[in-house]
Amino acid sequence: MSANVERPPGDIAALEATPGGLDISECPENVLTLGSLPVGARIILRCRKDWRDATVSTVSLEAITLSVGSASGHTYRVRR
């Protein structure tokens, strides 16, 4: 049994670093952020090991406040 452990020539270019050490990522125009969501929008938020439903409650210049439903039925607020 033999295994080919060599990389194809095109993959080597993907491993090379750019002169600044950081790659420039292309930002598509239709990227959604929390700031672009209206008040009352519902999202799913990852909290530790589980997923919880959240609602955008306030939007300000400094932060977005989400109202998150916990597993016990209570709600709490998260600022992002």
- Encoding tokens for residue 5? 């452990």
How much is the average pLDDT of 65-71? 93
pLDDT of residue 32: 76
Average pLDDT along the chain? 80
CB 69 within 8 A of CB 47: no
Q: Which residues pair with 46 in a beta bridge?
A: 51
pLDDT of residue 15: 59
CA pair distance 19, 16, nearest whole angstrom: 10
Q: Please state the separation of Cα 15 from the chain's center in Å.
A: 24
Contacts of 45 (CB under 8 A, 6+ apart): 51, 52, 53, 54, 66, 68, 78
Domain boundaries defined on the chain: 9-79
Share of the chain above pLDDT 90, in %: 40
pTM comes to 0.59
Whether 20 shows a pLDDT value over 70: the answer reads no
How much is the average pLDDT of 47-53? 90
